[in-house]
Chains A and B, each alone.
Chain A
Amino acid sequence: MTLDLQGRTSRPLHRLAGAVLAAAAALAQAQPSGPAPVAVEIAEEIPLQVAATDFADTELESRGGALVIDLAGSITFRHDGLEAVRALTLAVDAHAGKLGGRAAVGVPSLHARQGELFEVHLNVRLLRPLPRPPGPAVRIAVDGVLFDSLAAVGPDRLDSVRKMTVRELEARRDRRYFLSRLDTGGRAALVEAMQASLRRQAERPRLEVQLAGGGPATAPGRGDIRELQLALVQDPHAPLVLERGTALVNGAVSDSPRIVLRNRSPHLAGHFEIGWLVRDARGVLYSAGTAPGDPPPALQPGERFETRAEQRFSLRPVGLGGAAELAGMAAFLRSVQLGDGSVWIPSRSALDGLGLLDAVPVSAEEQRLTQLYRERGPDAVSAELRKLTP
């Protein structure tokens, strides 16, 4: 056997070794790729039918022990129900138990009335272990459908009803804003509002902030750890009050934030989401994303709750303008689900008044409307606003 210390084998040995390895590796290879069988499942109570599917552009590829599925295509649904559909979420599963095996595709801002067809595009990459299953490689299930009245149906395994409701409320809020600009100031005012939004989206301070939950911070620290008081942005109309909060900070890494909240509404309060902001030494605020609060059992009116220490967040700003120090952190309430099933979100004027409008990302609807403005102009936006706002 001849083998040099760098691991390069001499030719005869390499051929033999290669042959054995190739033979063994051949066992792990999947069958040749082809059109992916995709199954679409709709629960009985959901008033949708599949009118057509087109997954001809989908590709499967074996890589090592995994099957990589590039699912590309569309499903055309027909709506058979009475109330218009506003949003839909699909659960897309290749292998739910493994990383990369499951995704959700949410489609906000739909407006499908009874008897109408609407198409949903999908472009998702999934992984599943080999061998390729005998049946469908991918199962797509309708996880939730949101109607105009904000009623919803569906198995809701992915918490999609709550998310769709938050997005739809944000969408209505932002559509009302743009429509009011159109109604009060005409086309010119709408154009000005669209351009202001595009400028805000382009100029919003950007920072690659990694918000990672579920484990202790492992980034090497620098200097002393200090306890920071959180700046809590109070919306006077929010059902929960953020009373006080702290976080541990070391250099540019933050950990173990804790917030004490009080339910000041007359309703039970459940799931809530906190929006996080970080401030650098120059005082610039950057969005650090949204994270769900530790869902408590329903908070009674007047009751207090402290987020648990296990809910750790490591904020690691990357490229913090050279000054790799977190000077401050702020938190605000992004959404609250109340005991009667309703969802609260901050109003646009509150976000503006609290100085958050320039820091937080725009809603999906605002992004969609400004995209429509860029591609098809203000008249298309005006028509869309009229169509979707009663």
Chain B
Amino acid sequence: MRSRSAHPTQRELALLAGGDLGRFARWRVTRHAARCPMCRSAVASYVQDRRELGALAPLPVVDFAALGHQIRVAAAQAGPRRVSHGRRRWGIAGAALAAAAALVALFLQVPDTRREVFPATPRMGLLQPAGFAGLPAGADAQVTADGHLSFRAFYRGSGQLTITEYYVP
């Protein structure tokens, strides 16, 4: 007879130490650790390891002003070469201004009306019938969503049913 080990796995204990377990798993593993000195000690060791990794936290001194200037120049040099045929070419100064503006536009919030092509990653069996971009369109297809990520379409005339399933890599 096969049975699962009563102790949480080392991976679960390691995740508990960093507060990275989901709510239910955290409840289950914490409940076990409260009664098990061996697992409690393992969690304490993982907590200690995390604390010591904190020694890597301080950053070296970096001249960010110089780095920023370098980046603006590099962006300006990259810009004019990509101008398509027929557009006026600017001098480096103008291009630097444009590149700087482009960087600013990139970093600050600018309203964008483009919509998502695909919804958030569906995992196995996630049901997303409404708004799913993959829904077949067409006057002769009737679509119903099943309990998992598949869609049934009926083709009038032939009466054929097809079941389309989308895969997550």
Where the two chains meet, the residues of A that have a C-beta atom closer than 8 Å to any C-beta of B are 1, 3, 6-9, 13-14, 16-17, 19-21, 23-24, 26-27, 63-64, 66, 68, 70, 72, 96-109, 119-125, 127, 158, 167, 208-218, 221, 225, 248, 250, 255-256, 287-291, 303-306, 308-309, 312-313, 361, 364, 367-368, 371-372, 375-376
Contacts and interface: CB of A to CB of B under 8 A. Distances in A.
Given A23-B79, A212-B125, A213-B123, 16 more contacts: A17-B101, A20-B101, A104-B167, A106-B165, A121-B153, A212-B124, A213-B124, A216-B22, A225-B24, A248-B28, A255-B25, A306-B4, A309-B4, A309-B25, A367-B152, A368-B154
Contacts of A248: 24, 27-28
Given A27-B82, A371-B159, A104 B165 contact: yes
A99 B167 CA distance: 7
Given A23-B82, A103-B165, A211-B126, A364 B152 contact: yes
Nearest to B27: A225
B17 to A, nearest CB: 16
Output the residue of B83, B124, B144 with the most chain A CB within 10 A. B124
A289 B161 contact: no
A121 B158 contact: yes
Contacts of A306: 2-4
A216 B94 contact: no
The 4 tightest CB contacts between A and B, nearest first, are A216-B22, A289-B147, A123-B136, A17-B101
B162 A121 contact: yes
B82 to A, nearest CB: 5
A21 B102 CA distance: 7
Contacts of A97: 169
20 contacts: A13-B97, A17-B101, A21-B102, A27-B82, A97-B169, A103-B134, A104-B167, A106-B164, A107-B162, A119-B158, A120-B162, A211-B124, A211-B127, A213-B124, A217-B24, A290-B125, A290-B147, A309-B4, A368-B161, A371-B161
Contacts of B125: 211-213, 289-291, 313
Contacts of B163: 105-108, 167, 364
Interface of B: 1-4, 21-25, 27-28, 79, 82-84, 87, 94-95, 97-102, 104-105, 108-110, 114, 117-118, 121-127, 133-138, 141-142, 144, 146-148, 152-156, 158-169
B1 A303 contact: yes
Nearest to A110: B160
Output the residue of B25, B94, B138, B168 with the most chain A CB within 10 A. B25
B127 A209 contact: yes
A17 B167 contact: no
B127 A103 contact: no
A9 B25 CA distance: 49
A106 B127 contact: no
B3 to A, nearest CB: 6
Contact of B127 (A124, A208, A313): A208
Nearest to B105: A17
A20 B102 contact: yes
B169 A23 contact: no
A101 B153 CA distance: 20
Contacts of A102: 166-167, 169
A122 to B, nearest CB: 7
Contacts of B152: 364, 367
Given A213-B123, A291-B125, A305-B2, A20 B168 contact: no
Contacts of A217: 22-24
Given A23-B87, A103-B165, A290 B148 contact: yes
Given A214-B123, A215-B22, A305-B2, A24 B82 contact: yes
B139 to A, nearest CB: 11
A13 B110 CA distance: 14
A347 B128 CA distance: 30
Contacts of B146: 289, 361
B134 to A, nearest CB: 4
Contacts of A250: 23-24
Given A7-B105, A213-B125, A308-B4, A367 B23 contact: no
A287 B155 CA distance: 27
Contacts of A100: 117-118, 134, 166
Contacts of A225: 23-24, 27
A158 B147 CA distance: 18
Output the residue of A120, A213, A221, A289 with the most chain B CB within 10 A. A289
Contacts of B82: 23-24, 26-27
B105 A367 contact: no
Nearest to A306: B4
Contact of B87 (A19, A108, A215): A19
Output the residue of A19, A208, A287, A291 with the most chain B CB within 10 A. A19
A106 B133 CA distance: 19
B84 A210 contact: no
Contact of B28 (A64, A122, A256, A303): A256
